[in-house]
């Protein structure tokens, strides 16, 4: 998607600018990259790292191959974990997401050192063990607890460079060996540099990000398609911003408490919110991707919050009235008020609790839906082969068109009309022949959805009509099974 491409690009800029002086690090550092929202990013990330490599080691480019092979796995995992995107801001990347990337890599690599590193790197929380392998990395352990949100930005950015980066030849395991050796050579001195620079400039730094930054910095100059508006949207410490990227005039920044802390520190350094200028604050913060526009608007909000609490949001009325109340308050009434506030708090807490539960449910529902879709698509391919022989005469053309093109919107209006006829016919099919398909459908725990998918690829349009068929067919198949 466009958004993700832009995001990718932005994070790229951020990391690049952060450590422009740092030498590039070997591609093995790429292992630290967390799971990417889509395989494309993985591809790009690898490509980028390999691109970066040429200045130092021309043999690095073949490095990309193992990642390409992982893409399918990556994609599968990311699609099955909807929670991933939800967690990208705070939680470190779940280790299972990284492992698929690493596993093939490890198998290819003959270097024990590297495989140890890569197996340890997936989770930022587990980063510490790996640091023991590399002398210079010890100080990095302090970064580990930080959340890994920046990682996605970086990986996102890398993907944006896909246009410029050409994927090339296949990786040989000896290439990896060379990379590992090269990496360890750099480790001692460069890591300390990275750490110092990173901790200075970043309010919130993620270890893998820090590692990656040297990789990206070399490409900073290579990034010709830098869109200033885009880079402005993302700060290294914040999350990727949405499609707001599209308008250069209004880039949207997502402020986090950590970023805000950096902001406040900068403001205080400049002598307070009144004296501080957006330009000065921007310079002091040294956060990539932060534009003066962001700082300006944030500073404005900050000033209002500090010096105009009386004119702040809708609570002003209540505040003044409550102040009047409180001034003439005796102890008994203040207790009442406290109780009332407590009650209000209880309701609010309850609401929040329910909202969180609801949200998790919604996420899981969508995850399930995606999984079903995927399963269905898989079944389609196997089902078509199986159906073509035993299927009843009238159906094959119907069904094959339904199955092979579930997403073909052109056919959908036709399906809409044929739905009533396709319904019973599909029900029959489910009863009669595609035993493997039917069974597999059952396993996915949603017969109705399965049949709906068969009819026209989306479960709702015909779910109602198909429902009676579902119960009939499911009872039949269950009886048969």
Give the residue with the Cβ less far from other proteins, 309 or 390: 309
Does 292 bind other proteins (CB under 8 A)? Our answer is no
Q: Site mask, other proteins, residues 184-203, x = CB under 8 A?
A: --------------------
Tokens of 337: 């008020």
Contact 235, 289 (CB under 8 A): yes
Tokens of 387: 């159906």
The binder of other proteins chosen from 241, 291, 379, 473 (CB under 8 A)? 241
Rounded Cα gap, residues 406 and 417, in angstroms: 15
Rounded Cα gap, residues 430 and 387, in angstroms: 10
Does 286 bind other proteins (CB under 8 A)? Our answer is no
Residues of the chain by 3-state class (helix, strand, coil), percent to 5: 75, 0, 25
Give the residue with the Cβ less far from other proteins, 194 or 446: 446
Q: Site mask, other proteins, residues 38-77, x = CB under 8 A?
A: ----------------------------------------
Contact 287, 201 (CB under 8 A): yes
Contact 69, 101 (CB under 8 A): no
The binder of other proteins chosen from 66, 210, 434, 457 (CB under 8 A)? 457
For residue 25, give the 3-state DSSP assignment: coil
The binder of other proteins chosen from 289, 456, 469, 477 (CB under 8 A)? 456
Does 336 bind other proteins (CB under 8 A)? Our answer is yes
For 274, other C-beta atoms within 10 Å of its C-beta total 11
Give the residue with the Cβ less far from other proteins, 65 or 205: 205
Does 340 bind other proteins (CB under 8 A)? Our answer is yes
Rounded Cα gap, residues 376 and 294, in angstroms: 45
Contact 285, 270 (CB under 8 A): no
Does 85 bind other proteins (CB under 8 A)? Our answer is yes
Contact 130, 137 (CB under 8 A): yes
Tell me which residues in 426-455 interact with other proteins (CB under 8 A): 446, 448-449
Tell me which residues in 353-372 interact with other proteins (CB under 8 A): 354-356, 358-359, 361-363, 365-366, 368-370
Round to the nearest angstrom and report the end-to-end CA distance of the chain: 43
For 307, other C-beta atoms within 10 Å of its C-beta total 11
CB of 169 to other proteins, least distance (A): 34
Does 423 bind other proteins (CB under 8 A)? Our answer is no
Give the residue with the Cβ less far from other proteins, 135 or 308: 308
Tell me which residues in 303-322 interact with other proteins (CB under 8 A): 305-306, 309, 313-315, 318-319, 322
What DSSP element (H or E) covers 476?
helix 463-480
Helix axes 463-480, 411-432, angle to 10 degrees: 20
Does 341 bind other proteins (CB under 8 A)? Our answer is yes
> Of the listed pieces 24-32, 123-131, 168-176, 412-420, which binds other proteins according to CB under 8 A?
412-420
CB of 219 to other proteins, least distance (A): 25
CB of 6 to other proteins, least distance (A): 13
Rounded Cα gap, residues 54 and 63, in angstroms: 11
Does 32 bind other proteins (CB under 8 A)? Our answer is no
The vertex-34 CA angle with 261 and 39, nearest 5°, equals 130
For residue 430, give the 3-state DSSP assignment: helix
The binder of other proteins chosen from 86, 170, 248, 394 (CB under 8 A)? 86
Give the residue with the Cβ less far from other proteins, 399 or 448: 448
Give the residue with the Cβ less far from other proteins, 86 or 170: 86
- Determine the size of the site formed for other proteins (CB under 8 A): 94
Phi/psi at 31 (5° precision): -60, -30
Residues 6+ apart with CB under 8 A from 127: 32, 120, 121, 140, 141, 143, 144, 207, 208
Q: Site mask, other proteins, residues 243-282, x = CB under 8 A?
A: xx-----x-xxxxxx--xx--x------------------
CB of 419 to other proteins, least distance (A): 8
Rounded Cα gap, residues 419 and 462, in angstroms: 7
Rg (CA), the chain: 28
Q: Site mask, other proteins, residues 391-410, x = CB under 8 A?
A: ---------------xx-xx
CB of 395 to other proteins, least distance (A): 20
Tell me which residues in 201-240 interact with other proteins (CB under 8 A): 239
Give the residue with the Cβ less far from other proteins, 67 or 376: 376
Give the residue with the Cβ less far from other proteins, 253 or 287: 253
Rounded Cα gap, residues 146 and 90, in angstroms: 9
> Of the listed pieces 169-177, 192-200, 279-287, 456-464, which binds other proteins according to CB under 8 A?
456-464
Does 334 bind other proteins (CB under 8 A)? Our answer is yes
């Amino acid at each position: 998607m466009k958004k993700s491409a832009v995001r990718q690009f932005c994070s790229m800029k951020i990391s690049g600018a952060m450590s422009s002086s740092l030498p590039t690090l070997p591609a093995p550092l790429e292992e630290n990259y967390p799971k990417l929202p889509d395989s494309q990013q993985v591809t790009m990330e690898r490509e980028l790292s390999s691109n970066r490599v040429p200045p130092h080691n021309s043999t690095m480019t073949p490095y990309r191959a193992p990642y390409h092979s992982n893409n399918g796995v990556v994609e599968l995992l990311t699609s099955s974990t909807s929670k991933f995107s939800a967690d990208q801001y705070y939680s470190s990347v779940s280790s299972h997401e990284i492992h698929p990337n690493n596993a093939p890599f490890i198998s290819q690599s003959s270097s024990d050192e590297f495989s140890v590193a890569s197996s340890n790197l997936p989770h930022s929380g587990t980063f510490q063990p790996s640091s023991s392998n590399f002398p210079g990395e010890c100080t990095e352990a302090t970064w580990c607890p930080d959340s890994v949100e920046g990682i996605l930005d970086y990986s996102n950015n890398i993907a944006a460079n896909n246009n410029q980066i050409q994927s090339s030849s296949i990786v040989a395991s000896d290439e990896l060996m060379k990379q590992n050796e090269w990496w360890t050579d750099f480790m001692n001195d460069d890591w300390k540099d990275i750490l110092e620079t990173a901790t200075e400039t970043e309010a919130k730094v993620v270890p893998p990000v820090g590692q990656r930054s040297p990789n990206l910095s070399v490409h900073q100059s290579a990034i010709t398609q830098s869109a200033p508006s885009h880079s402005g949207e993302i700060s290294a410490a914040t999350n990727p911003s949405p499609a707001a990227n599209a308008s250069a005039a209004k880039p949207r920044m997502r402020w986090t408490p950590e970023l805000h802390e950096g902001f406040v520190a900068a403001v205080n350094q400049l002598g307070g919110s009144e004296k501080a200028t957006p330009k000065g604050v921007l310079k002091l913060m040294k956060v990539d991707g932060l534009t003066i526009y962001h700082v300006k608007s944030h500073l404005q909000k900050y000033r209002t919050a500090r010096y105009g609490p009386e004119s702040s949001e809708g609570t002003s009325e209540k505040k003044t009235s409550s102040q009047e109340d409180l001034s003439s308050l005796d102890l008994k009434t203040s207790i009442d008020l406290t109780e009332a506030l407590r009650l209000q708090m209880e309701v609010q807490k309850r609401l929040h609790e329910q909202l969180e539960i609801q949200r998790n449910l919604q996420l899981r529902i969508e995850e399930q839906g995606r999984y079903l879709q995927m399963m269905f698509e898989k079944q389609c391919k196997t089902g078509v082969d199986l159906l073509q022989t035993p299927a009843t005469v009238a159906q094959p053309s119907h069904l094959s068109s339904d199955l092979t093109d579930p997403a073909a919107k052109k056919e959908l209006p036709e399906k809409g009309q044929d739905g009533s006829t396709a319904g019973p016919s599909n029900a029959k099919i489910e009863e009669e022949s595609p035993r493997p398909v039917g069974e597999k459908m059952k396993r996915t725990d949603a017969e109705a959805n399965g049949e709906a998918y068969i009819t026209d690829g989306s479960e709702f349009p015909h779910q109602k009509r198909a429902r009676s068929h579902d119960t009939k067919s499911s009872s039949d198949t269950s009886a048969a099974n």
